[in-house]
Amino acid sequence: MASATTLSPDLSPGASQGGAPAAMPPAAPGVFGFTRAQAVALLLLIAALIACPFFLYPQFLMKLLCFALFACAFNLLIGYVGLLSFGHAAYFGMGSYIAAHAAKVWGLTPEVSILLGGVVGALFGLVFGWIAIRRAGIYFAMITLALAQMVYFFCLQAPFTHGEDGIQSIPRGMLFGVIDLRADMSMYWFVAGLFLIGFLLIHRIIHSPFGQVLTAIRENEPRATSLGYRTDDYKLVAFVLSAGIAGVAGGAKAITVGIATLTDVHWSMSGEVVLMTLLGGLGTLFGPVIGAAAVVSMQTYLAPFGAWVTIIQGGIFVLCVLAFRAGIVGEIARMLRVKL
């Protein structure tokens, strides 16, 4: 019976002051703002990053990580600011094209090319976000979609993207000008590192003074305004960060796979990232990673079924909305009563 206190030491002070509602314990500060459950999940994730290439095809894993980073960037916006952008393919796709062009035509090193993709993604995010943030809800989603469609048609026509052919046989080049990335395993460690940096950056953004204001805005925007916060400015900064990270993800994908095509800027890519995030768990740290893994795995391993992939995906999407709205990670977190 004495075990009650030993089991939940951080619960006891709150519980002893009767009258307080049965509430969550104060989030233990943990390491770098991770809760204990999140720290465990992060260690598992890192272990998986290290172990997986010895069991699974590195090409597949790299693609998966690029999409996982893309989904995490998208989740920053919808999960933590409450903004549904339906045009994130624009930033992903522009990042992809710019990195491809920089690596192939300008002969820049891969890390600079990818970074350039991120910068261009962020710039597009700045302009598009500035236009879209004046509207809320479905209007915001429609404006982002319309602007992304403009980017699609630009990419279809612009000479440097090579229209329907896309940019092909992009050299992976030498990382920092010294490490040859042609071997899949070298490239894998680079992409895994890049993903981890992006993932940790997003976590930091959420758990920063800025992130605290973002959460307040998501929870009650008029109240945040009445406290003196220019909410549009905060949303715009979040939008630019999200678009920038999406651009990095697109750039990394182009360098990894060696091609940048119209698929990357097509609206269905925007839809796919929504699917990944919803499936994994909106507003959870690890959800988008799991969601991206699920969607990319389906696309790869169900490929023999051809057109059925889309139908299966659609079915899963419907199931997700009907049965488990919190997504895979969201439901697991609810069952274990932890924050993931």
Partner 1 sequence: MQDHILETEGLTKEFRGFVAVSGVDLRIRRGTIHGLIGPNGAGKTTCFNLLTKFMQPSRGTIRYDGRDITRMKPAEVARLGLVRSFQISAVFPHLSVLENVRVALQRQRGGSYDFWRSDSVLRRYDDRAMELLADVGLTTYAAAPAGTLPYGRKRALEIATTLALDPTLMLLDEPTAGMTHEDVDRIVALVRRVAQGRTVLMVEHNLKVVEGLCDAITVLTRGKVLAEGPYAEVSRNPDVIAAYLGSDPSVSGAAEVVHA
Kindly state whether residue 324 participates in binding partner 1, applying the rule CB under 8 A. no
By CB under 8 A, tell whether 31 contacts partner 1: no
Among the listed residues 9, 29, 177, 315, the single contact to partner 1 using CB under 8 A: 29
Q: Which of 123, 207, 302, 316 binds partner 1 (CB under 8 A)?
A: 207
CA angle centred on 283, ends 277 and 284, rounded to 5°: 85
Q: Tell whether residue 25 is a contact of partner 1 (CB under 8 A).
A: yes
Does the protein bind partner 1 through residue 223 (CB under 8 A)? yes
Give whichever of 182 and 223 is closer to partner 1, judged by the CB atom. Answer: 223
Name the minimum Å distance from CB 37 to partner 1.
17
Task: Report d(CA 19, CA 260) in Å as an integer.
Answer: 60
Answer yes or no: are the C-beta atoms of 264 and 150 closer than 8 Å: no
Are residues 329 and 290 in contact, defined by beta-carbon separation less than 8 angstroms?
Answer: yes
Stretch that binds partner 1, among 109-117, 208-216, 267-275, 325-333 (CB under 8 A): 208-216
Identified binder of partner 1 from the candidate list 52, 174, 216, 259, rule CB under 8 A: 216
Q: Is 209 in the site for partner 1 (CB under 8 A)?
A: yes
How far apart CA 214 and CA 161 sit, in angstroms, is 36
CA dist 113 and 258 (Å) reads 13
Supply the minimum distance, in Å, between the C-beta of residue 64 and partner 1. 26
Point out which span in 142-150, 167-175, 222-230, 269-277 binds partner 1 (CB under 8 A): 222-230
Q: How far is the CB of 237 from partner 1 (least distance, A)?
A: 6
Residues binding partner 1: what is the number (CB under 8 A)? 40
Q: How many angstroms separate the CA atoms of 100 and 94, rounded? A: 10
When asked if residue 24 is in the footprint of partner 1 (CB under 8 A), the reply is yes
Residue 241 as a binder of partner 1 (CB under 8 A): the answer is yes
Residue partners of 114: CB distance under 8 A and separation at least 6: 95, 99, 194, 248, 251, 252, 255
211 lines the binding site for partner 1 (CB under 8 A): yes
304 binds partner 1 (CB under 8 A): no
Q: Which is nearer to partner 1, 14 or 53 (CB)?
A: 14
CB nearer partner 1, residue 148 or residue 205: 205
List, in order, residues 6 or more apart from 144 with CB less than 8 Å away: 85, 86, 87, 88, 128, 132
Q: How far apart are CB 210 and partner 1 at their closest, in Å?
A: 4
Q: Of 13 and 315, which has the nearer Cβ to partner 1?
A: 13
Tally of CB atoms within 10 A around 104: 20
Cα-Cα-Cα-Cα torsion 283, 287, 291, 293, nearest 10 degrees, comes to 150
Give the residue among 254, 38, 239 at the shortest CA–CA distance from 128.
239
Q: Is 230 in the site for partner 1 (CB under 8 A)?
A: yes
User: Out of 60, 189, 210, 324, which residue is the one contacting partner 1 (CB under 8 A)?
Assistant: 210
Compare residues 262 and 282 and give the one whose CB is closer to partner 1.
282
Ramachandran bin of 108, using left for φ above 0, alpha for ψ from -120 to 50, beta for the remaining angles:
beta
Among residues 226, 304, 322, 323, the one that binds partner 1 under rule CB under 8 A: 226
Question: Can you tell me which of 150, 158, 227, 303 binds partner 1, judged by CB under 8 A?
Answer: 227
Binding site for partner 1 (CB under 8 A): 14, 17, 19-21, 23-27, 29, 32-33, 204-205, 207-213, 215-216, 219-220, 222-231, 233-234, 237, 241
